[in-house]
Copies of this chain bind each other. A is one copy, B any other.
Amino acid sequence: MTTTTIRGSAGTPVALDLQGADAGPDAVAEGARLSGVEVSLFDGVEIRNDEDPAFAVRSKGDASIVKAAKAVGTGEASALVSAGSTGALLAASLFHVKRIRGVHRPAIAVLVPLPGKPVLLLDAGANVDVRPEHLVQFAYMGAAFMEAVQGVKAPKVGLLSVGEEAKKGTEDVVTAHAQLAAGTLDFAGNVEGNDLAAATVDVVVTDGFTGNVALKLMEGTARTVAGAVRDAIRSGPVSTIGGLLIRGKLGRLRAQLDPNATGGAILLGARRPVIVAHGKSTPEGIANAVRMARRAVDEEVVERTEKALGDAGVLRSAPAASFATKS
C-alpha cells in the first residue's frame, strides 16, 4: 500500500485520495503540501465515473479511494478527501466510513458559488430519490454544519419548491414542509429558485436530483452571464477601454465565483467528515478541501450534527427500540 504522510499541524491525519483530479496526482500531492495540514496520501487504482460505483468499490481493494476510506473507518485518519468520482467516494464512504447511527441517507452539502452571503445547498446529488424524512434530516444536518463551520447562529432553513405557500410542490415536499414547520429549526418555509440565488436563507434543502441540477445550473449561468459581459465589453473600442479600467475589480469577482475557493462539498451524515473536492481542482483547491476537512474535524461537525438530529428527535429509531415497541 502506497501511503505517504505529509507533515503539517499535529493530529490524526486527513486521508487524501491521490487519484481522480483532472490535474493529476502530482497536483493533488502539491495541494496536500500547500494545506499546512497533516495528510496521508493514498495511491492506487482509480475508480472512474463510468464504472458502477458500488460494484467497483466492493471489487477493487487496490483502489486509492477504497484504501483512503478504510483508513478513515479504522481511525488511522480523521477525515476523507477526494477529487475523484463522486459516486465512488459516496460508495466507499457508505461501506467503510459508515453513517451516523439513525441517519437515513448522507447528503452532499455545498456552499453556493455565488457572490454574497454564504448559502448551503443540500442534497447536491447523493440521493436522486428521497422521502420526506430524508429531507427533514437534511435540514437539521445543514443547519448544524452552518453553525459549526460557518459560525451562523440559528441558521434560517428554506425548503426548495415551486411556490412560497406550504401546499406548493410535490407530495413529498409538502409532507416535509409540515414536519419542518412543527420542528425546532428556524424554518423559513418554502423558497424558490430565485431565493437560492439571492441568499434569502442560510440553508436550502432539496432532493439530490433537483440540487445537482441547480448547482450545475448556477455555475453554468454565472459563466454564461460573465462571458456575455466580457463579449459585450470587447465588442467596441470605447467599451474595450472601459473594460481595461474595470479589469481588476472583475478579477476579484471571478475569484469569488471560482469553485476552487471553497474547497468542495461535504458529505453530511457520515461518521467522519468526507469532502468531495471538485474534479477540476487546482493544487490550491485541493489545499482548501483538506483545510475544510481539518476544520470539520476540529469543529466537531459530526458530533454536533448527531446531537442536533438527536435533540430534534428526527433520528431513525434503532432496531432495538422498534423491537421494544412491538413487544
- Is residue A317 within 8 Å, beta carbon to beta carbon, of the partner chain? no
Say yes or no: B220 contacts A197, CB within 8 Å.
Answer: yes
Say yes or no: B246 contacts A233, CB within 8 Å.
Answer: yes
- Is residue A325 within 8 Å, beta carbon to beta carbon, of the partner chain? no
Closest to A163 in B: B49
**In the assembly, what is the distance between CA of A196 and CA of B169, in Å?**
22
**In the assembly, what is the distance between CA of A223 and CA of B193, in Å?**
12
**In the assembly, what is the distance between CA of A215 and CA of B229, in Å?**
20
Contacts of A150 in B (CB 8 A): none
* A 114-135 binary contact with B (CB < 8 Å = 1; else 0): 1110000000010011000000
Stoichiometry (number of copies) = 2
Cβ-defined partner of A210 (8 Å) among B49, B209, B228: B209
The 6 A-B residue pairs with the shortest CB-CB distance, nearest first, are: A242-B245, A197-B220, A193-B216, A193-B217, A194-B220, A242-B246
Q: Can you list 25 A-B contacts with CB-CB less than 8 angstroms, sorted by A residue number?
A: A116-B224, A125-B162, A128-B169, A129-B171, A173-B209, A193-B213, A193-B214, A193-B217, A196-B220, A197-B221, A198-B223, A214-B217, A217-B218, A218-B221, A221-B221, A221-B225, A225-B257, A226-B229, A232-B250, A232-B253, A236-B248, A238-B245, A239-B245, A241-B242, A246-B246
Chain A residues in the interface with B (C-beta under 8 A)? 49-50, 114-116, 125, 128-129, 160-163, 165, 169-171, 173, 192-198, 206, 208-210, 212-226, 228-229, 232-233, 235-236, 238-239, 241-246, 248-250, 252-253, 256-257
